[in-house]
Amino acid sequence: MQEAYCAEFLTNSPRSRFEKEFDGVQDVFELQRNLNNAFAYDLVPSPSVIAAALKAARRVNDFATAVRIFEGIKAKVDSKGQYDQYLQELKPLREELGVPLKEDLFAAEQK
């Protein structure tokens, strides 16, 4: 069993594996389980994985998780500059899906 998992992990990049898993999400439980797995690694998930996760969140109508995905990115990156790069790359998709950032939702509290 372990050998089969290792072989699958080595032949499929984690990025393509996560993208495929998010494409198949049918409910909130699967979405959150896949997000937990994606963020469990030491690396920040790639923008393409984040895009797949955002699409899955909107598909299963989980607005709160869609917003929280960006909180996960913010916690994982090493610097504000890296977070800003993610925001810039994902901005068109965020706008298309109608996913605001937490800092936009609670702007009055941050002042």
Which ranges in 13-79 belong to alpha helices (H)? 14-23, 28-40, 47-59, 63-76
CATH of 14-110, one of 3.30.360.10, 3.40.50.2300, 3.40.50.300, 1.25.40.40: 1.25.40.40
pLDDT in tens, the chain (111 residues): 444 444 444 445 777 888 899 999 999 999 999 999 989 877 889 999 999 999 999 999 999 999 999 999 999 999 999 999 999 999 999 999 999 999 888 876 665
- What does pTM read for this prediction? 0.81
